[in-house]
Structure 1
Amino acid sequence: MVRVQPFEVEQWMNRLENTPGALNIAETCAASVSIDDLVQLCTDKDLPGPLSTSKKLTYGAITGSQTLRQRVASLLDRGLSTSEVESTSSSATPLPADNILITQGAIAANFLLFYTLVGPGDHVICVYPTYQQLYYVPESFGAEVSLWKLKKENGYVPDVKELEGLVKDNTKVIVLNNPNNPMGSTTPKSVLQDIIAFARQRDIIVFADEVYNPLYHSLPSDQPAPPSILTLGYKKTVATGSMSKAFSLAGIRVGWVASRDESIIEAVASARDYTTISVSQLDDQVASYALSEPVLRPLLERNLNLARINLEILSKFVEEYESVCSWAKPTAGTTALIQFSKGGKPVDDPSFVLDVLEKTKVLFMPASPCFGLGKDFKGFVRIGYVSETEVLEEGLKALGRYVEENLL
């Protein structure tokens, strides 16, 4: 029997996110939008609406509609990274729509990918910290997993030199997460290229969870946003993503697996026949509309601006209470890890989270159970700061009062 470790961050969220009156700054999606919001954002008022009410609701296109798969392929090819859609120079040819498989969110994409790729006798290298699914699921399928630990002194960017000490003869997959959850750090293109070169020499698959791409909102002016892993000219690359985080549409449950290797897509599609068969036609239509050029540009501009504004608000909070909290300021994504201390010692973050929620209604996640193994990340909490600005401001104001009364 396959035994899966409890998915701590999801269980914590499930238990607490519906707390009456909660000021939720634990949510990791850019502030959600409605279908009406998408229509208002659209710059082409002649564009047909997102839903066809006359279309028969069959299973639809099993791998995803041609329109949606082509728009996802274009998204990955162009390496969207700013409020403008720019082409990314690449040695790779354009990604065909047939190399995209639409899934029910990135969480299903990741699970199916590991189910397809790894098993007993395989070895996986996974960046850490990251979303718990990325290292526990391959382990549950019998693979040995080595954690590639990100270090503060390296800006929480993977150190490629360390791969030599992690790789084994049976290494099947190197797992990345870019932008990183929960750190909000960015792995630059140069590092991605070095990882590709390492993997190519050993015929290892490189899998990147890119669910927060393209929210590279706060990089230094001299650092360009990295493209998708699929643009770097190596066939044995795989990327997953979704409409949830960067595109504010978690409610439609649309994600994807994309690969330069057609055999990987075929194998994942075959495995998915035993699970969901296809994605809802309605969800597919909404996602296709959101990724159409007249909607995509303003939607991304909205979310990038929201991330920049809110990150500065959070930064001012950390600066104000620097005697009891510290962090590595994110450059991308929607999440930040902040360590709180009292009397010079890290707080017990699970107890801290529950006490803050009880006394202030402010909700965020404890890092040590949700992202740490053993004593890693003691005293850290994960805050999702790309909520509606008013929610973040109100939440941090209440949290500030708590800090003054309980930690200072």
Structure 2
Amino acid sequence: MVHIKEFAVERWMDEYEDNARYNLAETCCASVSLNDLEVFAGSKSTNIIDFSKKQIYGAIRGSKQLRQNIANLYSGGIDGDVKPSQVLVTNGAIQANFLTLYTNVGVGDHVVCQYPTYQQLYSVPESFGAEVSLWRSDETKEWGLHLEELEKLVQPNTKLIILNNPQNPTGAVLSRETLQGIVDFARKHSITIHSDEVYRPLFHSTGSQNPPSILSFGYEKCYATGSMSKAFSLAGIRLGWIVSADTSIIDACASTRDYTTISVSQVDDQIATFALSLPTRENLMQRNIQLARENLALVNAFVEKFSWACQWTRPKAGTTAFIEFFGRNGRPIRDVEFCERLFAKTGAMLVPGSRCFGGDIDFQGYVRLGYVQENQIIVDGLKVLEDFMRSDYETLPTY
């Protein structure tokens, strides 16, 4: 194992998040309490946690009911209904990704990874000794991927194609046609597909038909990861999952985890089981989709008001937007200094794209903004950002 690179976006969040007055960098839907979950369930008498239950390790792979509730999120995806045996519950999606990458990638392997994306998805394989080729999304095509480029990137030793759908930081989604093309290519070359779907199913701007999970194409050599953090507003319980039609993938990841956390907290398991039960899940998602649409309209109004200084591809799903800022000269603004000065003056927090998603080389002038917090946070945060745009923005240096 080689030295792993510093996790830039998590370092940035750790440095600024706790002291932010207006956190415009939050990537989770506005968090909910256990009391809120009871309301979404429609019954105040329902017990979320069984206080009489002895706190042993519990079901190592996750309780059967929780795994069934997670499987229900992918109904019809794997030759019909997904089974609980095809689900492994993990400590957040970050562990789900780590376990699958550790289990499937090693020295001498090659990986193709969609880009930009969450740094874990390419830095972790590199740390295991794999060579990683970045499959760059095309902003001019709504951050889409070109299949002909995949053919050029793949090598004889390619083990994984890594996707992030919906995409962090852009909020873009891959179409059914693109996914089908990726699956057909992977099947032809017997390559496993790793699909980080942590922002699924928060589809707020995709029209009448939501894009499918990678599990919907009948290809066994693939798996999806997800969690309760982003779309389901419960980052605090640290619970995620791996789902695959190939139970050997689930078995291998479970075996790997024996060396780390062994199982998830029984308390977290119970809360997640409750949250993913009906009607709680549907009511929670309805609230989050409505919040996303309302807040996205406010961000859109900001981008239109300051079109001389910024532009974007409007997100279709998830909680994040990737906005490009530039000076009067048309050159990209120095995004790190922009975020630092904005925070110092107003307490409003954004994430610089070049630092956290581009290795200081790519995405100069871009910032990631999270827009599915409580509505008042967006209203107040955008207000101080507008004030900064009028008072300080034009003093910022450009590249």
Output the TM-score relative to the length of structure 2. 0.96
Q: Does 1:368 align with 2:354?
A: yes
The equivalent of 1:16 in structure 2 is 16
Distance 1:67 1:157 in 2: 37
Q: SS of the counterpart of 1:305?
A: helix
Alignment of 1:105-254 (within 5 A): 105-220=92-207, 224-254=209-239
Deviations 1:198-232 (A, max 9, x none): 100111101100000001101245xx211211121
1:72 aligns with one of 52, 70, 73:
70
Quick one: which amino acid aligns to residue 347 of structure 2?
Answer: K
Distance 1:93 1:219 in 2: 24
The equivalent of 1:398 in structure 2 is 384
Deviations 1:122-150 (A, max 9, x none): 11100000000001100110111110000
Q: CA RMSD in A?
A: 1.3
Distance 1:57 1:40 in 2: 26
Measured after TM superposition, the shift of residue 237 of structure 1 is 1.0
Uncovered stretches (5+) of structure 2, i.e. residues with no partner:
395-399
Distance 2:79 2:121 in 1: 26
Measured after TM superposition, the shift of residue 372 of structure 1 is 0.5
The equivalent of 1:84 in structure 2 is none
Q: SS of the counterpart of 2:279?
A: helix
Q: SS of the counterpart of 2:178?
A: helix
Contact 1:208/1:239, CA 8 A, preserved across alignment? yes
The equivalent of 1:41 in structure 2 is 40
Distance 2:332 2:18 in 1: 28
Deviations 1:218-276 (A, max 9, x none): 1245xx21121112111111000000000000000000011111111111000000000
The equivalent of 1:381 in structure 2 is 367
Quick one: which amino acid aligns to residue 291 of structure 1?
Answer: L
Percent of aligned positions with the same letter in both sequences?
51
Measured after TM superposition, the shift of residue 301 of structure 1 is 0.1
The equivalent of 2:397 in structure 1 is none
Distance 1:262 1:40 in 2: 36
Distance 2:234 2:204 in 1: 19
Distance 1:315 1:99 in 2: 40
Contact 2:78/2:245, CA 8 A, preserved across alignment? no
Quick one: which amino acid aligns to residue 4 of structure 1?
Answer: I
Distance 1:99 1:158 in 2: 29
Contact 1:50/1:289, CA 8 A, preserved across alignment? yes
Contact 1:72/1:291, CA 8 A, preserved across alignment? yes
Alignment of 1:42-57 (within 5 A): 42-43=41-42, 48-57=46-55
Contact 1:189/1:225, CA 8 A, preserved across alignment? no
Uncovered stretches (5+) of structure 1, i.e. residues with no partner:
78-87
